[in-house]
A and B are shown apart, each in its own frame.
Chain A
Amino acid sequence: MEFIGYMGDVFTPINFALLLIGTIGGLILGATPGLSPTMAVALLIPFTFKLDATQGLILLGAAYTSTVAGGAVSAILLKIPGAPANIATTLDGHTMARNGQGAKALQLSFLASLVGGVFGVMLLIFLTPVLAQWALAFGPSHLFWLAILGVTVIGSLDSSSVVKGLLSGCIGLWLATIGFDDIMGAQRFIFHDAVAGGINIIPALIGLFAIPQVITMFANGRKPSEAEVLSVERHPIRKAISEVARRTRALSIGTAVGSFIGLIPGVGGQIAGLVAYDQSKKVSSERAKFGTGHSEGIIAAESANNAMVGPSLVPLLTLSIPGSPTAAVLLGGLLIHGIFPGSDLFDNHPQVAWTFINSMLIGQIMMCIFGLYVAGLAARVAQVPNAVMAAVVLGLAVFGSYSVQHSMGDVYVMAALGTGMYFLERFGFSAAPLVLGLILGPIAEANFVQGSMIANATSNLGTYFLTGPLNLTLIGIVVASIVYSVWMELRHRRYTTKDEAVAKEEALS
């Protein structure tokens, strides 16, 4: 119950103001199609430089929480999910809005998000300190395998092609080795002055998430937006509260599925909503109503999306392994303030850790309250034309990257990585494993080198890295995630290759 002691810190004027800004800003950014939660958080990092670690994390955490919930606004009112996590919400939410119940759909969505989100953060509160202490037992070989696990799980589960996902992870790991070697001081892969000091993680994150989105907007050309904002009629909030309370099955399925999926590194929120929606539909006595504007569909999907947020930070705060691309961006936010996750965070910076976690708890409540009021404005912002959005994001990316170290080199790295990533994505490569490789590369290398030294002194390399119950468990999970993903990919192809080929031909013609 240590967290209660730090609850008051959330309510200092500056911290609370930042929480408010992050929540409202996140709701608006989340509602904007094309601005994913990861990209929104990455673009916000430069604004945390002038803040202390706690304040910076409060801003980023609030933005993370509310961008996920804000995505439901455009999903419901525009039929455009603000983020991939909100796809399932579109199915019933937009239909309900079309039937003249837009306000009810929004209220159900934010109330379900609140319940799921609070449960997820409670899991974060109770699991994190326990796991952080357990992580103290980890040696270099275990941390090496954990870092590799982070890359392979996200590379195999988050990508449409396992090989290309893993290859993206390898590219990220290689990019992380650019610069001077920490031990020998040797130059490695320095082919331009801009990367002499290595690749700075913040400009890289901004480039990898923002620039592909800018180019995607360019690819749409001068096409006018066809989205039409549905009008929102008034709906009493108490009716929505009693509806959510009545739909306990959908709410508990969504919350449980989201929390579980959030804990698995790499899986993230993209599938939490869809899995919860699907499971809720299977056990519902009114399954025929799903897709026709049924409240259970919205409640299951949105409670899952926000229940995922808290648990996705558990591997990050305990083992330094970001569970999702957004968590990877938050890790970048921690590192720029000189704070390393794990037991160090809770032992040496408890005020930072607990104020941040508490702010996420309060942020869930604020997200629900303000979400209902900001929804109309957010839906209007979501209609900002692509041309404006692309130019704004490009400008923010350039200024944000430059402000990290006042270096044009960082801006060049941001642009080069972002442009390259756009083209790689067009050919089936994925940004998430590349980012994880870039972030976990130094952790993997430091522990590999340290482990090699221990192995040379005590046993041989193979014995040190490939034996022992914990090493074998981690290797087993790495192999299992790859084998499972290959099996799923082959099964998927067996049934859909023909359709996909036809769709591709149509898209190209």
Chain B
Amino acid sequence: MSAMWQTQHVVASGIVAAVGVAVAYISYTAQPAQAFLFPRLISTVFVVLALWTFGKALIGKTKVGNGLNRTQMINIAPGLVVALIYIFWAAKGLGFYTATTIAFFILLTLYDPAPHNKLRTWIKRVLITAGFLAVMYGLFAMLLKVYTPREIFF
């Protein structure tokens, strides 16, 4: 078992165990106690299983879960950053349709295997983005009448 794999498992199961302990602590201390009867029951099982998993990860006995290798981390990072900025800031700050257009185009550019140095590739990406935006606008704004934050442009 590689050190990186074990470290990843220790961190992941450690976070889950910490959440479990926090849930159990709140369940057993918060008032009114009657409202926390069911959370107490499940948090007890939660914390036992989480600590068991954490203990197994600490002694290197974890058997399940491949973790993430360096290549996967490098591949995920830009897309995840764009997606999180889109969801947690741009969608509300710039408006849904504007933010979706920008995020869609950036993600397409980041992960499209076609070469970046050809004009045809860029035209294709612009057309796909425009097509997607038109479909989303038709579906949500016109068909379902969902009023999304508009902010700039539309």
Q: C-beta contact mask, A330-361 vs B, less than 8 Å → 1, else 0?
A: 00000000000000000000000000000000
Given contacts A163-B49, A412-B87, A426-B66, A183 and B35 within 8 Å (CB-CB): yes
Interface stretch, picked from A96-104, A125-133, A262-270, A402-410, is A402-410
Given contacts A215-B80, A427-B9, A399 and B42 within 8 Å (CB-CB): no
A398 touches B91 (CB 8 A): yes
The distance from the CB of B28 to the nearest CB of chain A, in whole angstroms, is 13
The reply on A236 being an interface residue by CB < 8 A is no
The distance from the CB of A432 to the nearest CB of chain B, in whole angstroms, is 15
A398 touches B100 (CB 8 A): yes
A398 touches B12 (CB 8 A): no
The reply on A419 being an interface residue by CB < 8 A is yes
Q: C-beta contact mask, A482-501 vs B, less than 8 Å → 1, else 0?
A: 00000000000100010011
Q: Which residues of A contact B31 (CB under 8 A)?
A: 186
A170 touches B46 (CB 8 A): yes
The reply on A319 being an interface residue by CB < 8 A is no
Given contacts A215-B76, A426-B66, A387 and B110 within 8 Å (CB-CB): yes
The distance from the CB of B54 to the nearest CB of chain A, in whole angstroms, is 10
Instruction: Pick the contact of A183: B4, B34, B91, B108 (CB < 8 A).
Output: B34
The reply on B98 being an interface residue by CB < 8 A is no
A449 touches B67 (CB 8 A): no
Q: Which residues of A contact B65 (CB under 8 A)?
A: 161, 164, 426-429
Report the Cα distance A50→B140, complex, angstroms. 11
Residues in A206-236 with C-beta less than 8 Å from chain B: 214-215, 217-224
A427 touches B88 (CB 8 A): no
B87 touches A398 (CB 8 A): yes
Residues in B1-29 with C-beta less than 8 Å from chain A: 1-2, 4-5, 8-9, 12-13, 16, 19-20, 23, 26
Report the Cα distance A406→B150, complex, angstroms. 13
Instruction: Pick the contact of A402: B5, B20, B42, B148 (CB < 8 A).
Output: B148
The reply on A386 being an interface residue by CB < 8 A is yes
Given contacts A398-B96, A399-B146, A427 and B12 within 8 Å (CB-CB): yes
The distance from the CB of B34 to the nearest CB of chain A, in whole angstroms, is 6
Given contacts A50-B144, A163-B53, A387-B110, A189 and B23 within 8 Å (CB-CB): yes
Q: Which residues of A contact B38 (CB under 8 A)?
A: 177, 444-445, 448-449
Q: Which residues of A contact B107 (CB under 8 A)?
A: 387, 390-391, 394
Q: C-beta contact mask, A60-77 vs B, less than 8 Å → 1, else 0?
A: 000000000000000000
The reply on A2 being an interface residue by CB < 8 A is no
SS class, residues of chain B in contact with chain A? helix
Q: C-beta contact mask, A156-193 vs B, less than 8 Å → 1, else 0?
A: 00001101101100110110010001011010110000
Q: Which residues of A contact B119 (CB under 8 A)?
A: none
Report the Cα distance A399→B146, complex, angstroms. 9
The distance from the CB of B75 to the nearest CB of chain A, in whole angstroms, is 4
Q: C-beta contact mask, B56-89 vs A, less than 8 Å → 1, else 0?
A: 0000001111111101101110011001101110
Q: C-beta contact mask, B100-142 vs A, less than 8 Å → 1, else 0?
A: 1001100110111100000000000000100010001001100
The reply on A424 being an interface residue by CB < 8 A is yes
Interface residues on B, range: 35 or more
The reply on B152 being an interface residue by CB < 8 A is no
Report the Cα distance A415→B82, complex, angstroms. 12
Residues in A407-439 with C-beta less than 8 Å from chain B: 408, 411-412, 415, 419, 423-424, 426-429
Report the Cα distance A419→B75, complex, angstroms. 15
B144 touches A46 (CB 8 A): yes
B46 touches A171 (CB 8 A): yes
Instruction: Pick the contact of A164: B45, B64, B75, B144 (CB < 8 A).
Output: B64
A508 touches B67 (CB 8 A): yes
A388 touches B92 (CB 8 A): no
Instruction: Pick the contact of B104: A184, A395, A423 (CB < 8 A).
Output: A395
Given contacts A385-B113, A406-B147, A508 and B69 within 8 Å (CB-CB): yes
A–B pairs, 30, beta carbons within 8 Å: A164-B53, A167-B49, A167-B50, A170-B42, A174-B23, A174-B46, A177-B42, A183-B34, A184-B35, A186-B36, A188-B36, A189-B26, A215-B76, A219-B68, A219-B72, A387-B110, A392-B104, A394-B103, A398-B96, A402-B146, A406-B147, A408-B149, A412-B88, A424-B12, A426-B12, A426-B68, A427-B8, A452-B37, A508-B4, A508-B66
